[in-house]
Amino acid sequence: MTQHRRPAGLKLAVLALPTIAALTLVGCGASSDATGGQTQEFSLTFATSNTVESPYEALAKQYMETFPDIKITLNPQPNDSYDQVVRTQLQAGNASDVLVTSPGSASGRSILPLVDAGFLEPLGESAAALVPEGSEELFGPNGEVYGLAPEITVVGLVANDTAITATNTAFPEDFAGLLAQCGPLSEEGKSLFAVAGSASPNTGLLGMQLAATRVYAQDPAWNEKRSAGEVTFADTEGWQRALEAVVLMKDAGCFQGGAEGAGFDGVTKALVSGSSLAAFIPGPSNKQLKSTAEDQDFEVRVLPSEGGPSEDFIYASANYAYSINAASRNKEAATAFLEWLAEPEQTKAFAEIDGALPVTGLEGYDFENSAYKNVAELILENRYAPLPNSEWANASVYDELGSGVQGLLTGQQTPEQVLKAMDAAWDQ
Amino acid sequence: MFRYTKLTLLREIGLWTLALVFLAPFYFLITTALKSNTEMYTTSPLALPQSADFSAFVAVLTATGNSNVLGGLLNSVIITGGSIVLLIAMGSLTGYVIARSTRRWSKAAYYLFLIAIILPGQLGAVPLYMGARSIGLTGSAWGMIILYTGMLLPVSIFLYANFFRGLGTAYEEAATIDGATRFQVFARIVFPMMAPATGTVTIFAGLIVWNDFFTSLIFLGGSDNQTLPVAMYYYIGSLVSEWNSIFAIVIVSMIPILALFLFAQKRFIQGFAGGLKG
Amino acid sequence: MTATSQSTNHAVNRPVHEQTRTAQASGSVHRVQRMRGPDRASKRKWGLEFGHWWWALPGIALVFAVHYMATGIGGFFAFTNWSGIGSFEVVGWKNFEAIFNDPTKIRSLGNTLFFAFGSVLLGNIMGLLLALALNRVVKTRYALRTLFFMPVVLSPLATAYIWKFIFDYEGPINVLLNAIGAGHLAKPWLADPQWAVWTVLVVLTWSSTGFAMVIFMAGLTSVPVEVEEAAAIDGANLLQRFHHVTLPALRPAVAIAMTLGIVQGLRVFDPIMALTGGGPAGATETLATEVYKQAFALGNFGGGAALALVLAVIILFFAVIQQRLTRSNPED
């Protein structure tokens, strides 16, 4: 306000009123208008879109049917801006009682930073029992659990098996075979993979999947070492090979034409039309794709490793979780809801609606009649790890990987530059 | 003078050709909206729909819940209309005083508003939300009207002040001498002459408020008063997006704002010069 | 004299009015005297002959609360390491140091200026030409104006998506290039390191032209048709008429269109986010897209806030220069 120095009397008069108004505006933002008391009523915020059936909504409705005296206020939010809405509402103190969060620290809705900020309520044993093995640290610090995992998301390839059958060649078994298949396919005007080069979540997933066997299968504790500063991306041979593999695949013609500029719509289109055989997208997408093209079969597969099937390694973890808002006034009702969600029937229903694997009872799961039959062995033999970026220091590291892989596709960057940028983002 | 000649005809034809090229992108908007869900993913965006399929329009117009398009349309109309009225009233009064004053404070105030246009509004989003919530402005249409008015007021004042500066004071002098009060001078003499500015503010602010997604998403979050752009965003999926439905909503939402433009151009921009010439 | 022609000679109005006023005032002495008391005070103190200073008060109060208070609080976090939630520490100028030590910010700044000035220049030239071409005589001018305005009405999301179609690798541009045997020129336009900035510029210009046209149309209403006709009768050609009659009258409209265009252009981010997300690999990144990413997507609110303030200072710099340039009227 320094530019107002001249007419003093007037200035004071003009400034006083709005300042008072503004101060009352900003002051005391703590009062909450949530429905008071321990009533049998609570609210639930989740991300959704009209294009798929929401398991969050379906189960909430089922809960209300089962317990007619309980009312859940549903606050669905568009996918795109979910993180920002939830953070703003948490900060302002009027977020819903139950929120959908994400284990780890990779995104705006991640549990660890939200716990740090004091926004989440620790959960009880039923939630702890559902934490997938190896993911404990992603659900909260000091052994506490702040999220209830409703499903296991397998992140590998989703392949159009109808289209694979039509090519009369089997899906490649190892990385060399994969590269060999790319050339002939691209001569037919097809491609082995569809990549959304302009969408950094997709290029990032491509980079991470190449790192599964090259880094994480061999060194499961790589992320911890990176946190401790013992290793860096740029110095790790596995990471170098992973990103060099992107360039190898590009040069072999593994990606669809114009892949560097494609978006998710391009990937969907290529898979559904059969012009591309597989894409680097989370397993539950098989259900969305199926609903777009019902006459085709979409299966979850693993990206072939350099050493063949015996060395294959995949990512599987809980990507989403239910959490309770620490500022909630309806914790009792919310906790009861989460207890109910943790029951096997509900986790089973949730996974079925979403097209994912259930968080419990995998030993008895009917893999053969699901989209996951090709990865059953990996899951049952425990040859999987959580998505590595959920343990990375901040969201920028993954963003650098995503935009860096696009740079590899366009030839703007070299693997070394990308890895150095990721290190810089980690250390910022 | 300035009659319709052969050259004008040529100009007219040329302009229509240009318009066709300029509007070519709308071809995709319309054809996509007329395709069915499966056709959207199996045919080229260039291809015409096999048959005009209005199912996307029917689907969005009858949707309930997340994407209650008709309800969103009504809320958008109320919020946009209310914001425009307030922006015109406050913007013209403030802009007038600032443009007419010969003292330094008005210059300072002018820069206060110019800087407010420039300030990075994103930074204020969270404090603004907390403030608005504590005085009960969130979740209701009238709260949104006040917020949007506050957000766009600097531009409105800027536009009015600039237009007022280009207007001589002769009419005000004359009216004052005839005994009109200052407010009468403003309301009866000066404001009607500001029609081009009013038209510009109407269109500028109307467009921003009408298409704004994020402010209404945050500030109306958790209420049933969502606006049209928010209803539209529920059709964007993480992998599969229903672009036919989205574009059907886009087309529906273009109609009121184009009507507003036609009204503004006839009533404010064109009517002004024509009316006075007659 | 018409109201419209009034505005062209407003610069000389004031002294004339002072004279006529004193001359005419004697006609109704009583009434004028009764009004003089408060008038004089108001004029001396507030410099106002018309209107009251407090008319501006609600506007100032609202703008102060919504813009200055809110942004001031948000701006404070530029000096902290706040992630967007939870606690924070004050870190002084560290965020700003990080910005000035980051070489990629230079490219973002370059893109920011390129997009802003490129789209303002092209959009305003096209808007002016359209407004002039559609000003009079043309019979279908209402229909044509509406058509040329349609891109402005389109929501940013739809605009971006349609243009993605057009620039897609399998989109109409490449189909056309292949059809005329220029297939080697086909490329993924939005992901081509050289071409991406130009494609983004095309889209920004396309969606801003219609609005510039409207502002110029509003400005053209103040061009007195009689003066233009007189000039035409005197034998002035089209260019002379434009230079001596139309352009001076358009000066306020040009000032408005340029100021708004540059201010909006420097901070435009959602079309760019939707078109390229700043890619390929940062080639279309601007300061505004980085502010958004840092402050909201990547949980570095402090860094994003610092960058937003730097961007605001840059915008202020150009806005002030721009105000000076368009205000420096030779007749003043």
ipTM of the complex: 0.84
Per the prediction, chain C carries an average pLDDT of 80
Number of domains in chain B: 2
Q: Quick check: A61 pLDDT over 60? A: yes
For chain A, the residue count is: 428
Q: What is the pLDDT of residue C327?
A: 64
Note whether B39 and B131 are same-domain residues.
no
pLDDT band at C45 (very low <50, low <70, confident <90, very high): low
* Per-residue model confidence as pLDDT tens digits over C141-158: 888 988 999 998 888 878
- List of domains in chain A: 41-150+318-360 (3.40.190.10), 154-316+377-427 (3.40.190.10)
How far from the centroid of its chain's Cα atoms is residue B212's Cα?
10
Q: Quick check: A236 pLDDT over 90? A: yes
Q: Quick check: C7 pLDDT over 50? A: no
Which of C221, C247, C263, C316 should one mutate to test binding to chain B, selecting the residue with the greatest count of B CBs within 10 A? Answer: C221
Which residues of chain B lie closer than 8 angstroms to A75, CB-CB?
221-222
Q: What is the pLDDT of residue C35?
A: 45
Note whether B146 and B269 are same-domain residues.
yes
Our CA angle for A417, A423, A425, nearest 5°, is: 105
Which among C53, C57, C54 has a CA at the least distance from the CA of B153? C57
Highest mean pLDDT among A19-33, C227-241, C280-294 belongs to C280-294
CA distance B158 to B110: 7
Note whether B51 and B180 are same-domain residues.
no
Q: What is the pLDDT of residue B272?
A: 42
SS3 (DSSP) at A148: strand
Topology annotation, domain C104-327: MetI-like fold (1.10.3720)
Q: Quick check: C231 pLDDT over 60? A: yes
Our CA angle for A130, A133, A139, nearest 5°, is: 60
Q: What is the pLDDT of residue A214?
A: 96
Who has greater pLDDT, A92 or A410? A410
Judged by average pLDDT, the poorest of A13-27, A68-82, A292-306, C161-175 is: A13-27
Q: What is the pLDDT of residue C330?
A: 42
CA distance A357 to A367: 9
Q: Quick check: C12 pLDDT over 90? A: no
Q: Which of C 249-308 lie inside 8 A of B, CB atoms? A: 252, 255-256, 259-260, 263, 267, 291-292, 295-296, 305, 308
Which among A332, A316, A312, A315 has a CA at the least distance from the CA of A324? A332
Note whether B16 and B103 are same-domain residues.
no
Highest mean pLDDT among A321-325, B53-57, C181-185 belongs to A321-325
Minimal-distance CA residue of chain B relative to C249:
B166
How many CB atoms within 10 Å of residue B46? Answer: 14
Q: What is the pLDDT of residue C42?
A: 58
Q: Which of A 174-213 lie inside 8 A of B, CB atoms? A: none
Out of A78, A91, A291, name the one closest to residue B233 (CB): A78
pLDDT band at B145 (very low <50, low <70, confident <90, very high): very high
Average pLDDT (B113-125) is 86
Note whether B51 and B90 are same-domain residues.
no
How far from the centroid of its chain's Cα atoms is residue B127's Cα?
25
Q: How far apart are the first and last CA of chain B?
A: 16
pLDDT band at A114 (very low <50, low <70, confident <90, very high): very high
Average pLDDT (A254-278) is 91
How many CB atoms within 10 Å of residue B13? Answer: 10
Ramachandran angles phi, psi of A184, nearest 5°: -55, -40
C177 to chain B, any CB pair closer than 8 A? The answer is: no
pLDDT band at B270 (very low <50, low <70, confident <90, very high): low
Q: What is the pLDDT of residue B237?
A: 78
Which of C10, C22, C67 should one mutate to test binding to chain B, selecting the residue with the greatest count of B CBs within 10 A? Answer: C67
A262 to chain C, any CB pair closer than 8 A? The answer is: yes
* Per-residue model confidence as pLDDT tens digits over C69-106: 889 998 899 999 888 888 888 898 999 998 988 888 88
Out of B46, B122, B196, name the one closest to residue C308 (CB): B122
Q: What is the pLDDT of residue C11?
A: 36
CA dihedral sign, ordered B31, B34, B40, B44: negative
Q: Is C137 left (phi over 0), alpha (psi -120 to 50) or beta?
A: left
Q: Is residue B250 part of a domain?
A: yes
Average pLDDT (A179-193) is 94
Query: Do the Cβ atoms of C53 and B101 come closer than 8 Å?
Result: yes
Who has greater pLDDT, B68 or B144? B144
Could you tell me where the DSSP H helices lie in A144-280? 161-166, 175-187, 200-211, 222-228, 237-251, 264-273
Facing residues of C90 across strands? Answer: C80
The helix or strand, by DSSP H or E, that contains position A153, with its residue range, turns out to be: strand A151-155
Note whether B46 and B75 are same-domain residues.
no
pLDDT band at C40 (very low <50, low <70, confident <90, very high): low
Q: CB under 8 Å to B55, separation ≥6 — which residues?
A: B36
Which among C143, C121, C155 has a CA at the least distance from the CA of B19? C143
Which among A157, A202, A155 has a CA at the least distance from the CA of A178? A157
Q: CB under 8 Å to B56, separation ≥6 — which residues?
A: B33, B34, B35, B36, B242, B244, B245, B247, B248
Average pLDDT (B164-186) is 83
Q: What is the pLDDT of residue B172?
A: 83
Q: What is the pLDDT of residue C251?
A: 78
Q: Quick check: B199 pLDDT over 90? A: no
Judged by average pLDDT, the poorest of A359-363, B39-43, C117-121, C240-244 is: B39-43
Q: Quick check: A124 pLDDT over 70? A: yes
Q: Is residue B1 part of a domain?
A: no
Q: What is the pLDDT of residue C44?
A: 61
* Per-residue model confidence as pLDDT tens digits over C267-324: 888 889 889 988 798 899 999 899 988 888 888 889 999 999 999 999 889 888 887 8
Note whether B53 and B79 are same-domain residues.
no
Q: Is residue B91 part of a domain?
A: yes
Residue B31 carries which side chain, given as an amino acid letter? T
Q: How far apart are the first and last CA of chain C?
A: 23
Q: What is the pLDDT of residue A20?
A: 41
Q: What percent of chain C has pLDDT over 70?
A: 84
Out of A26, A198, A395, name the one closest to residue C298 (CB): A395
Sheet of strand A357-358: strand arrangement:
A357-358, A151-155, A314-317, A384-385
Q: Look at residues B36, B57, B78 and tell me which one is the last residue of a structural domain.
A: B57
Note whether B109 and B206 are same-domain residues.
yes
Note whether B47 and B71 are same-domain residues.
no
Per the prediction, chain A carries an average pLDDT of 87
Q: What is the pLDDT of residue C1?
A: 34
Q: Is residue B62 part of a domain?
A: no
pLDDT band at C39 (very low <50, low <70, confident <90, very high): low
Which among B32, B246, A70, B196 has a CA at the least distance from the CA of C214? B196
How far from the centroid of its chain's Cα atoms is residue B154's Cα?
15
Minimal-distance CA residue of chain C relative to A407:
C281
State which residues form the domain around B201.
67-277
CA distance C286 to C118: 14
* Per-residue model confidence as pLDDT tens digits over A276-287: 999 999 999 998
Q: What is the pLDDT of residue A220?
A: 92
Inter-chain touch A113–C83, beta carbons under 8 Å: yes
Note whether B36 and B75 are same-domain residues.
no
Q: What is the pLDDT of residue A144?
A: 93
CA dihedral sign, ordered B204, B206, B209, B211: negative
Minimal-distance CA residue of chain C relative to B10:
C138
pLDDT band at C43 (very low <50, low <70, confident <90, very high): low
Q: What is the pLDDT of residue B275?
A: 34
Average pLDDT (B35-62) is 79
Inter-chain touch C214–B120, beta carbons under 8 Å: no
Counting beta carbons within 10 angstroms of the beta carbon of residue C190, is it exposed (0 to 12), middle (13 to 18) or buried (19 or more)?
Answer: buried
Who has greater pLDDT, B50 or B25? B25
Note whether B31 and B112 are same-domain residues.
no
**pTM across the whole model:** 0.84
Ramachandran angles phi, psi of A75, nearest 5°: -120, 75
CA distance C77 to C301: 7
Which of B106, B240, B242, B249 should one mutate to test binding to chain A, selecting the residue with the greatest count of A CBs within 10 A? Answer: B240
Q: What percent of chain C has pLDDT over 90?
A: 25
Note whether B22 and B106 are same-domain residues.
no
